């Protein structure tokens, strides 16, 4: 019983956390319940039931299957479902005496679902096409009143689908486009957080007083950027279905977001390589460290600031003109660092081995500055 | 008409390519057609139709929705569907006079689908639970013979689901586990291809005779490894449903594959950083290059060979004992490289700036050797 209580408490706290992480999840659940109650009226309200009968079942089914988290996903699924039902219904009716054909058409459509572009946008539509086509062509073999049946089914599906779409747009809408927009900005901010973090900017300082172990978990924030590709792509696919809302037009350049996302990820790969080096010890002598330190700090801080400005610009959809100075400051610092490494002062220290980690770190940072510049170019 | 012809030809060649890339896609499509023809018997064969009537529709629907590409996915969906229907049916029958409850339960179940662990394995089951529960609790309001209806529906769903599972296992099965197994090995081989490629191993050589531009596209092979995470995870989820087959037991350590996959990806991030440097020009003097070159080539080649051995070991599920010597050779070369960098010979060349790219490349390669060692540890 004690273990059971502990389990219950753990589950409850997990549930609470899930709801707090994204309160829209609760809203979404309530919206689904609302839509279901609405289409249940087909059963409970006598005049409606007289009209549609058991076909009302299809409205309930459509709601359960079509209602997705974001508006774009719901709209995409709803439109796919409606069009596919219509098309497959027409084709099925036309060919319902050719019952042997149904297996072939279903197999062909199944294969068509493997086309990457079709998979991304019309996968669900094809599924419903296969479903409806099979159902109608086999039912046609038995059912005399197939036309009426088809009409009833189609109209209930349309009603179910449109109630999903209406509720998902009107009641606290969750826009996939907005999510994508925020995700892209957030990812840039995560990289900025890393670059601006004291244990990175003062890498060459803290080595003197070795207390740099706090905030390590904070530094892991960028890791989620590394694997954001599939998430971004599905959001962009959903966003393409969405009508204009807020600051977004119908033909918002969603591909632009994917480009920025890809560049951000490339920058994150470099940061991951850099992060691996930051955890190892510095072997360079203090005098070298203090020499590099200034340029290094400037580069890291300025490219971090630049990314933050760019993220702000993306968020507010304004031209982030203040990002340019940061990037040029970072580039000047990079040049200075290169000069420093070149200068004869170094020759006094013949031990190249000791310098290697510092040089590697510095040159990875130069890479990061270049990546940041690319991101800035694609945003501007 | 000319443009149309071109379009048709293009589509045809695309289709052919899609089929040739993975012939199992064609097999899958035919299998779906087969399963559909099989359950259509419910309509065409009189005694069966007398028994089930329109409920036969549910068998067709189940086949369309449940039949997935791999055995694991089909089994997972089929089991989820059967169990969820059973459970929701029982609950719906018990509560069918409490019609008001249905909205609440549907909303709660919708929320439960957000739990990450449940989403991974039971998402579809919960969808069907909501669907069946809603359908039964609203139908219950109207239908007197609800028990018989529920029995017929459940049995047709079971027949539809089991015919999917049986066909997908017996007719040229496509195992998700095998796919995962091959994907992990293939990813390692892709990294090995990169490390063993002449334009990488002879980086310091080719700089003399600047004809290193061919095979660049070949070098891009590793890029697909960077984004393989979601693919690996879904395959592992499907694989968990699969019964023992070939060399795989039911409780095959699929998590081990995910661990190896993560480490491989980390190594790929380093390779991506390295690849960025390889494209830039070398500024170091020839005599330096020739000094580094030998150790560099050994490191790259040996870690490539090690990865290839490990991949072979994973493929054949044998202990890749021959991988160990390669990794130690690579480590010895890394040590030698470090010593070279330390040696006084370098002092003659005071221009540190010219050495930086070489040092960076070398130390990224040392990173890669370390990553390879980690992969080797996790495989062995």
ipTM: 0.71
Task: Name the pTM for this structure.
Answer: 0.78
Nearest chain B Cα to A26, which residue? B111
Q: Count the Cβ atoms, other than its own, within 10 Å of residue A301.
A: 19
Supply the pLDDT for residue A132.
77
Nearest chain B Cα to A132, which residue? B61
Q: Residue B6 pLDDT > 70, yes or no?
A: yes
Supply the pLDDT for residue B209.
46
With cut-offs at 50, 70 and 90, classify the pLDDT of residue B210: very low
Are B60 and A353 an interchain contact pair (Cβ–Cβ within 8 Å)? no
Provide CB contacts within 8 A for B376, sequence distance 6+. B306, B310, B323, B324, B327
Token pair of B292, please? Answer: 């580094």
Q: Count the Cβ atoms, other than its own, within 10 Å of residue A217.
A: 7
A38 touching B, CB under 8 A? no
Is there a contact between B196 and B301 (Cβ–Cβ < 8 Å)? yes
Helix, strand, coil tally for chain B in percent (to 5): 80, 0, 20
Q: Of all residues in chain A, what percent carry a pLDDT higher than 70? A: 82
Are B139 and A43 an interchain contact pair (Cβ–Cβ within 8 Å)? yes
B25 touching A, CB under 8 A? yes
Length of chain A: 380
Supply the pLDDT for residue A73.
85
Are A353 and B346 an interchain contact pair (Cβ–Cβ within 8 Å)? no
Least confident of A28-37, A45-54, B217-226, B343-352: B343-352
Across B351-362, average pLDDT: 64
Residue pairs between chains A and B whose CB atoms are closer than 8 Å: 205
With cut-offs at 50, 70 and 90, classify the pLDDT of residue A122: confident
Q: Shortest CB distance from B110 goes to which of A29, A57, A139?
A: A29
Across B110-114, average pLDDT: 77
Least confident of A142-146, B66-70, B197-201: A142-146
Supply the pLDDT for residue A281.
59
CB < 8 Å to A114, chain B? 18, 25
CB < 8 Å to B14, chain A? 115
C-alpha distance from B115 to closest chain A C-alpha (Å): 7
Among A300, A295, A294, A292, smallest CA distance to A275 is for: A300
Are B43 and A141 an interchain contact pair (Cβ–Cβ within 8 Å)? yes
B96 touching A, CB under 8 A? no
CB < 8 Å to B353, chain A? 338-339, 341-342
With cut-offs at 50, 70 and 90, classify the pLDDT of residue A140: low
Q: Residue A81 pLDDT > 80, yes or no?
A: yes
Across chain B, mean pLDDT equals 77
Q: CA-CA distance, B192 to B304, in Å (whole number)?
A: 4
Q: Residue B211 pLDDT > 50, yes or no?
A: no
A-facing residues of B in 307-366 (CB < 8 A) are 338-339, 341-342, 344, 346-347, 350-353, 355-357, 359-360, 362-364
B218 touching A, CB under 8 A? no
Q: Residue B73 pLDDT > 80, yes or no?
A: yes
B243-290, pLDDT tens digit by residue?
A: 887 778 777 888 888 888 888 888 888 888 777 777 665 555 666 677
Across A112-130, average pLDDT: 77
Rg (C-alpha) for chain B, rounded Å, is 29
Q: CA-CA distance, B309 to B324, in Å (whole number)?
A: 9
A21 touching B, CB under 8 A? no
Helix (H) or strand (E) run with residue B337 in it: helix B323-342
A51 touching B, CB under 8 A? no
Supply the pLDDT for residue B107.
75
Among A271, A288, A132, smallest CA distance to A190 is for: A271
B141 touching A, CB under 8 A? yes
CB < 8 Å to B49, chain A? 142
Among B152, B269, B28, B82, smallest CA distance to A130 is for: B28
Considering only the C-alpha atoms of chain B, give the largest distance between any 2 of them, rounded to a whole number of Å: 98
Cα A152 to Cα A53, A58, A79, A138, B78, distances in angstroms: 9, 9, 18, 17, 29
Among B56, B141, B104, smallest CA distance to A48 is for: B141
Q: Would you state the torsion angle of the CA atoms of residues B207, B212, B217, B220, taken in this order, to the nearest 10 degrees?
A: -20
For every residue of B87-135, which 3-state class applies, written as one string? HHHHHHHHCCCCCCHHHHHHHHHHHHCCCHHHHHHHHHHHHHHHHHHHH
Are A110 and B49 an interchain contact pair (Cβ–Cβ within 8 Å)? no
Least confident of A28-32, B58-62, B276-280, B298-302: B276-280
Q: CA-CA distance, B251 to B244, in Å (whole number)?
A: 8
C-alpha distance from A163 to closest chain B C-alpha (Å): 15
With cut-offs at 50, 70 and 90, classify the pLDDT of residue A210: very low
Are A360 and B360 an interchain contact pair (Cβ–Cβ within 8 Å)? yes
Are B60 and A229 an interchain contact pair (Cβ–Cβ within 8 Å)? no
Supply the pLDDT for residue B208.
46
With cut-offs at 50, 70 and 90, classify the pLDDT of residue B357: low
Q: Count the Cβ atoms, other than its own, within 10 Å of residue B373.
A: 18
A131 touching B, CB under 8 A? yes
Q: CA-CA distance, B34 to A104, in Å (whole number)?
A: 9
Least confident of A210-214, B59-63, B178-182, B293-297: A210-214
A146-182, pLDDT tens digit by residue?
A: 677 777 778 888 888 888 888 888 888 888 888 898 9
Supply the pLDDT for residue A287.
66
Q: CA-CA distance, A74 to A67, in Å (whole number)?
A: 5
Supply the pLDDT for residue A344.
46
Candidate ranges B136-145, B205-214, B247-256; pick with highest mean pLDDT: B247-256
Interface mutation target, options B10, B23, B29, B233, chain A, most CBs of A under 10 Å: B29
Across B150-164, average pLDDT: 83
Cα A31 to Cα A68, A272, B98, distances in angstroms: 10, 41, 20
Provide the β-strand partners of residue A248. Answer: A245
With cut-offs at 50, 70 and 90, classify the pLDDT of residue B346: low
Q: CA-CA distance, B265 to B188, in Å (whole number)?
A: 9
């Amino acid at each position: 019983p004690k273990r059971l209580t502990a389990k219950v408490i753990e589950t409850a706290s997990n549930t609470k956390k899930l709801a707090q992480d994204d309160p829209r999840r609760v809203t979404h659940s309530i919206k689904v319940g609302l839509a279901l109650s609405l289409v249940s009226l087909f059963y409970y309200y006598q005049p409606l039931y007289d009209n549609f009968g058991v076909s009302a079942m299809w409205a309930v089914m459509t709601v359960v299957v079509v209602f997705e988290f974001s508006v774009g996903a719901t709209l995409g699924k709803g439109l796919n479902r409606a069009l596919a039902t219509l098309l497959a219904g027409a084709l099925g009716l036309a060919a319902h005496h050719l019952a042997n054909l149904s297996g072939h058409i279903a197999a062909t459509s199944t294969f068509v679902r493997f086309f990457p572009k079709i998979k991304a946008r019309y996968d669900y539509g094809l599924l419903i096409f296969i479903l409806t086509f099979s159902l109608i062509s086999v039912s046609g073999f038995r059912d005399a009143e197939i036309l009426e049946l088809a009409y009833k089914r189609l109209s209930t599906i349309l009603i179910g689908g449109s109630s999903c779409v209406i509720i998902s747009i009107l009641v606290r809408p969750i826009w996939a486009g907005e999510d994508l927009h925020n995700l892209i900005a957030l990812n840039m901010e995560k990289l900025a957080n890393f670059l601006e973090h004291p244990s990175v900017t003062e890498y060459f300082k803290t080595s003197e007083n070795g207390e740099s172990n706090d905030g390590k978990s904070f530094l892991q924030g960028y890791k989620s950027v590394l694997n954001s590709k599939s998430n971004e792509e599905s959001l962009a696919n959903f966003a393409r279905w969405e009508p204009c809302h807020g600051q977004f037009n119908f033909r918002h350049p969603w591909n632009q977001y994917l480009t920025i996302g890809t560049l951000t990820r490339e920058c994150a790969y470099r940061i991951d390589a850099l992060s691996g080096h930051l955890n190892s010890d510095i072997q360079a002598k203090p005098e070298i460290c203090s020499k590099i330190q200034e340029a290094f700090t400037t580069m890291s801080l300025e490219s971090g600031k630049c990314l933050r400005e760019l993220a702000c610009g993306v968020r507010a959809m304004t031209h982030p003109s203040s990002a340019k100075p940061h990037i040029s400051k970072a580039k000047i610092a990079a040049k200075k660092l290169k000069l420093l490494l070149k200068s004869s002062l170094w020759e006094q220290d013949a031990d190249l081995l000791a310098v290697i980690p510092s040089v590697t770190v510095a040159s990875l940072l130069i890479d990061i500055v270049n990546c940041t510049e690319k991101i800035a170019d694609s945003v501007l």
